[in-house]
Amino acid sequence: MDCFYPCNNLENGTWNVPTTNGLRPFCHIDIFAHLWLKDRVVQYPQVPLRTGDMIPRSSEPLRAWFWVWDLLATSCAWLLADFVRLRSGLMPILAPDMPPFSLCVGQLPLVIILAVVAYRIAQMYDVNRLSRFREELAHAIKGVGFLALLTVAITFAMQSPYRPRGVLALFPVFAVAGVVLCRRLSWFALGRLRSKGFNQSHALIVGTGRLARQTAKSLEASSWMGIQTVAYVEDEKAKRQNDLHIVGPIRDLAQLVADHHIEHVFIALPMNRYGDARRVFDILSQSLVEVRLVADAPAMSGLSLTTTNLQGMTVIGLRESNHYGVNVVVKRIMDVVFSLIGICVLSPLLALIVVLIKLTSPGPILYRQERCSVNGDRFMMLKFRTMRIDSETSGPQMTACNDTRVTRLGAFLRTSNLDELPQLLNVLLGQMSLVGPRPERPYFVDQFKKTIPNYMARHAVKAGLTGWAQVNGWRGNSSLRRRVQFDLYYITHWNPLFDLRIIVLTVLTMLFKKQKHAY
């Protein structure tokens, strides 16, 4: 059983995660099925499998296609590496004797045989309609890397007359580029065909509520996957909708799968009906249809859903953090380097803002405010002052649109986010990180933790100068629940490249995009 997060894209700005971005869309969580099914065996009428139903063959031609093009790309990469290193004149040749091209061609069959083995071991042909680019890239790097190691080991062990180190170094680079390029072009062509109605597979959606409708919309929007929603299955008559094509109750699901030639079943039920998912799995236990659980994402946004093996037992991690060990060191190095660069590059702008603040309104230049960071630790966050000095005499208040407390210069600084630049010093001092959940005042933290689920989980990492929620428009006086969902997604999916992506998006957003809720 898989887990599918539907709808608006957390990676592209709204609460919905498509098949290629956002919350990890499809993650194997067989342990959930085990937990639902243990200690309970329910007998349902079984539908005999038709001939040809035992093994799905729809992806076999695609696997063969990829296999052929991977080997062609690998062969071209091998020959190209020889040409670039030894025969193009682009790189100096220090050895007195250059091996003839015939030796390169003669070693090509060995490279192809090793590629078949390496790519198979790297699981490069476990393809499906829900494959994501990052997974495909990881498999390609793993497979080509293994191939390169095998090639080097065998050529040197056999004392092959053709083993130029430059060729062996360039080969994996060209091979990864060639394999990934062929895969992307193939997926693009297949996606275009699927969007026009070719190579379709059929799906049933269990449920008729919000989650089911969002799942259907996501599948329709992702037409490149070629998965068509045939109908809906629902037990509760009160929940049946007249505008949906409902073909029957859950107890008839096995027969419905056979009658409608279904290849995918999406269980799209709210959290309080996950007991019915157990029934679905029982009913479909004798069929080979693909069953996926559509997670009620707002209720599961803080879950990482990883599995490990403990002495033969499957253990699922519901909330795990990547922020430990070497990762913490890497993140801290990034914070120090980028904050120093930012301070140096932006120093003329910072000086100009200091002068303008001093000239346009009385009071201090910087505004210090107590905020909460990792583990709830408090620190004094720095900002350029954008309000009158008497703005909070009646106590802490959230900033509103057209807030009369904001100065004319302050309004510009806030809408452009320039008021946040002094926090580069907080980052340099280690009180904040460049990227992370935005810090909040203790007064509001005490309020929000009582009303917003999982709010305190935001404090598992350092507060950030910018964050995943902010680059997607959830900032200021926007939905706090959405902000928390994006923050928790960032925490459970953090990696250095993700931080770099958010930093780039932050710069682009500040320069070219009008920001909502920036006041």
Per-residue pLDDT tens digits for 352-376? 999 999 898 888 899 898 999 988 8
Per-residue pLDDT tens digits for 326-342? 888 899 999 999 999 99
Q: State the DSSP H helix or E strand holding residue 466, giving kind and residue range, or none if neither.
A: strand 464-466
Per-residue pLDDT band at 24 (split at 50, 70, 90): very low
Closest by Cα among 406, 422, 397 to 361: 406
Domain boundaries, the chain: 2-10+201-317, 60-194, 326-512
- The radius of gyration computed from the CA coordinates of the chain, to the nearest angstrom, equals 28
pLDDT above 60 (res 94)? yes
Per-residue pLDDT tens digits for 149-191? 999 999 888 888 888 888 999 999 999 999 999 998 988 888 7
What is the pLDDT averaged over residues 262-272?
86
Q: Cα(474)–Cα(480) distance, rounded to whole angstroms? A: 8
CB proximity list for 467: less than 8 A, separation 6 or greater = 435, 436, 437, 438, 486, 487, 490, 502
Report which of residues 283 and 195 the model is more confident about: 283
Residue 369, φ and ψ in degrees, nearest 5 = -140, 135
Q: Cα(327)–Cα(433) distance, rounded to whole angstroms? A: 13
Q: Count CA within 13 A, CB hemisphere, residue 333.
A: 6
pLDDT at 144: 94
Question: Bridge partners of 265?
Answer: 204, 291
Mean pLDDT (the chain) is 80
User: How, if at all, do strands 201-206 and 264-267 pair?
Assistant: parallel
Per-residue pLDDT tens digits for 437-496? 999 999 889 888 888 888 888 888 999 999 999 898 887 777 888 888 899 889 888 888
Q: Cα(265)–Cα(271) distance, rounded to whole angstroms? A: 18
Per-residue pLDDT tens digits for 114-149? 999 999 998 888 776 666 777 788 889 999 999 999
Per-residue pLDDT tens digits for 206-252? 988 888 888 888 888 777 777 888 889 888 766 667 778 888 888 88
Per-residue pLDDT band at 298 (split at 50, 70, 90): low
Report the CATH fold assignment for 2-10+201-317.
Answer: Rossmann fold (3.40.50)
pLDDT at 5: 41
